[in-house]
A and B are shown apart, each in its own frame.
Chain A
Amino acid sequence: MSDDPKRSPSEAWQALEKGALRDEGERVAKLGNEELDASLAARGVDPEAARRRGAELAAKLLAQRAAGAAQPATQPDGKVVPIAAARARRARPAALTWLVAAAAAAAVLGGGGAAYVALNTPEPAPTTPVPTVPSAPPGPPPEVLAKQEADTLRGRAATECGATHWAACLSSLRQAGKLDPQGAAARPVARMQAKAARALLHEELDAKGGSVEARTLPAKLAAGFTTALAEHRGQAVTLACAPGAEPQPLCGWLAAALTRAGWVVTRPRLKAPVTVDGQVVHATRVLVAPDADDATQSAADALADALEGALLRTSGPDEAPAGSGSPLTLVVGPQ
């Protein structure tokens, strides 16, 4: 054998670590239960409790795994209505209220005046106890356990999103999505997830200092924007644009692109920016009436996606109260 080393010290170290782990595995595998427990106890570990925790963790994970492999349950009508979705909807903090509906209506009619939108104080989302994992059969089927866990996570996510803890909210939703993919596809849940992801992106952009250039809708992006929305041709939308030298040109481009997509655009002249809870709405925000039909709800989702696709910062779709006069509103605020 040559005396020349074949491995660098670093590579040798890695091999040694791997060998040590393998040796340890073999050594421990040969220990009897009593020996193993005695060794753990000597290290200050309660072996019985450790085994129990391990068994419970595995039971929970295996239940989730089984649920992931199982077909999602549907209601007799074929529609899936996750509890979490309903809960998230109830807990949604963005139940928007038009504080001065008359002013808004006047604005829509061209009479001027500002439209004021208030954001209700978020109510804490109802939560359910974390489901316990059965240590022995019989117990709830794995898919039920997974669904319960997903529901709990989504309830928590609603609270986190309501408190603008976007990272935690997104994390909870993604965990829930793994447990209950069908529930993740439900509109309220998908919206909440998109909202959290956008908000995080915006935080990221803000941290980088943001853009100080006027927003534009270049031809290429406008074409994509139009194409994305053409599927919802005929959709009515109110374009509520803040006055000013910066928002107005953008509004003009958006109105033109929406019109090209076949949307019916109403563009009131506002004398002041739209405000939410006393705060001026910046960037863009999609508002949709909760009682709007499914086509409008889908259009609202598509609009929010298309705005992001056109590299325009947006939030929503958020709920606007019934009777606000417009099933679907796109608010364009100052930057």
Chain B
Amino acid sequence: MLAQHLERGTMSEFDPNAVDWGRTFAEALEIALDLKIRNAEDVVSEGVTMVIDGTAPFDPSGDVTLAAHVVAVADGKRRNQARVDRRRKGRGQNAKLVQFLDEAPPTPEELLEERAMGDRAFEALLAACEGDLEVRELVLLSRKDVDEAADQAETLGWKIERVRNARKRMTRLIAQVAESMQAWKDEDDP
């Protein structure tokens, strides 16, 4: 990991002019599609824009690749936008102007709502991995703050390859649940 960090350099060394954006775009698209993110190409375009225009600077010394960062920041923005849209919808016509101003941070009610949605997603994930006990073990470990593959292997007494394979299956299930979450939100906010 250290070598990887050294290879990627520090944040101050990130030079967007030196990036192969065609490849990064393709990577980000692959990630977004694999995670079943809606309008994947739009999301990736938004992420690239945010990174290059400085809205969401990339830290090469961080623990995610540039392509994953691109997807993460745009998906985060999209979710935040969805929250803002719901808020506006609740306020009706009067909120027309607000789209040009910075939106206020989430209200306590919105945070509670997000938390409830997260709880529901976690329960849905547990249900989804009912037939895969290895994945279930990993999901349960996440509540104990054990997220890294090496730590999971140590905690469970598994070989690292077994953990990695289980994590791949878990990623697919997470994508399915995340996709379902969007449908729940659509149902809640017709």
Contact = CB atoms under 8 A, between A and B. Distances in A.
Given A10-B118, A51-B25, A57-B45, A17 B178 contact: yes
Contact of A29 (B65, B115, B116, B170): B65
A22 B68 contact: yes
Interface string A176-219: 00000000000000000000010011011001100000000000
Q: Of B17, B31, B41, B99, which is in contact with the most chain A CB atoms at under 10 Å from its CB? A: B31
Contact of B147 (A19, A47, A53): A19
A68 to B, nearest CB: 9
Contact residues on B (Cβ < 8 Å of other chain), bracket = 35 or more
Contact of A55 (B21, B97, B118, B170): B21
Interface string A32-46: 010011011001010
A61 B142 contact: no
Given A7-B143, A51-B23, A57 B171 contact: no
Contacts of B94: 204, 207-208
B147 A15 contact: yes
B118 A11 contact: yes
A276 B171 CA distance: 63
Contacts of A2: 144
A5 B139 CA distance: 12
B163 to A, nearest CB: 11
A136 to B, nearest CB: 13
Contact of B26 (A10, A15, A17, A37): A37
B43 interface: no
B122 A29 contact: no
B16 A22 contact: no
A29 B27 contact: yes
Nearest to A68: B53
Given A15-B147, A17-B178, A171 B100 contact: yes
A256 to B, nearest CB: 32
Nearest to A29: B65
B39 interface: no
7 cross-chain pairs, A with B, having the tightest CB-CB distances, nearest first: A54-B25, A25-B68, A10-B118, A58-B21, A51-B22, A9-B122, A25-B65
